[in-house]
Amino acid sequence: MAGAWEGLDPAIADAMIENVVGIFALPNGVAVNLLLNGQDRLVPMVVEEPSVVAAVSNMARLTRAAGGVVGECDASVMIGQVQVSAPAPGAADRLRSAIPSLSALAAGVHPQLVAFGGGLRGMEVRELRYDEPGEDPEDILVLHFFLDCADAMGANMVNTVAERLMPEVVAITGGRSGLRILSNLADRRLVRASVRIPVGLLDEPAVPGRDAADGLDVAKGIAAAWRFAWADPYRAATHNKGIMNGVDAVALATGNDWRAIEAGAHAFAARSGQYRPLSTWKVRDGALLGQLEMPMQVGTVGGPIKVHPTVQQNHAIAGIHGARDLAVMHAAVGLVQNLGALRALAREGIQQGHMRMHARTVALEAGASGLEISQVVEALCRTGEFTVQAARSILGR
């Protein structure tokens, strides 16, 4: 494990971005117990927030007793946009008629992509109008093209194709050159994960400070919490943040662009005109049914994946087999992370379990080390006072 602890070499970091002054480290954990599509998987996660890795591991253990999580992913199709402003009359029809020749041009930009199972998957023309009240209106014409990026996230591939198409699109439409870039609303690259948990597996025995709970009541509480998120965007934002706690941590660990994933996820959540939860939880026929669907633009080649040693090690730990496999892992982790948060909310509330994890950070800040950490954590939990001052008092400092 020496390589994992050593992490990124400063010389490599200096080549990756600009103005490097150091290396910023975050904890790199591994969630366990995940049974995904019938296979045991370890999940590398990079995150600073307490309870995230623990929640995934605990809920993965619960779901594996129900047969685990089932997941699937669409092909790795990304959307590129070529925009022209002030198009000439009839430009949209001319652009549609030119799709065969534009497709041939686009297909020739990355000829090697076909050998890896990718390639161009079509084009469409969109007619938009900017008509914000109080501002001058503007007609906008956009050529969308769909590129299967195989095992790459695909941003550079898509942008290269868009740049190549722009001069031809301008000539055809008679408009002004606009943007040529990918869209992070990757709604042709969706991933889905689902789980079915018999309510009996949600039974909870009585423990000190907490009464026993019937599994059906727990399931109903989880479903009620989801309905609140469906009805209220203020709750849905926090609901989805819990999903992204897991998704982002896997993205960071595997060298993927968590900002692109976040952008696509939240845009997708608002596609109906109201911001909604990305997951659903319902009680049906004696079981809690959970489903998650969201865009997932991840890759197993390109970016920092081949140059960052810890990212490479995390790919090996996870046993990843291509971008679609990695996307399914992201979704499974997001779903079980969401389950953990909703179960806590439906029972004792999120704070009780979270503060126990937070107590470790408080103990470290107070100067605890080694065995002192667990002793301080237990004492803080008994008193319910999670402050640095209280931790120092326990340590006698």
Inter-CA distances, 183 with 80, 109, 117, 153, Å:
6, 19, 21, 12
State whether the Cα torsion 58-63-66-67 is positive or negative.
Answer: negative
- Residue 45: both structure tokens together: 């996660």
* 151 among known catalytic residues: no
Residue with tokens 């010389």: 11
| Short-list 397, 152, 197, CA closest to 299 | 152
Query: Pick the catalytic residue: 220, 241, 282, 358?
Result: 241
Question: How far apart (Å, rounded) are the C-alpha atoms in residues 185 and 267?
Answer: 6
- Where are the alpha helices (H) located in the chain, listed in sequence order? 2-6, 10-16, 52-64, 91-97, 99-107, 155-173, 215-231, 233-253, 258-269, 309-318, 323-346, 350-365, 371-383, 388-395
Q: Verify whether residue 214 is a known catalytic residue.
A: no
Encoded tokens for 21:
């002054």
- Euclidean distance between CA atoms 99 and 363, whole angstroms: 63
> Residues 248, 257, 308, 330: which is the catalytic one?
257
Alpha-carbon span 201 to 286, nearest angstrom: 11
Query: Is 257 one of the annotated active-site residues of the chain?
Result: yes
Q: In whole angstroms, give the CA distance from residue 358 to residue 386.
A: 8
Closest CA to 128 of 166, 185, 175, 172: 175
Longest distance between any two alpha carbons in the chain, whole Å: 81
Catalytic annotation on 241? yes
Q: Mind telling me the catalytic residues? A: 49, 241, 257, 354
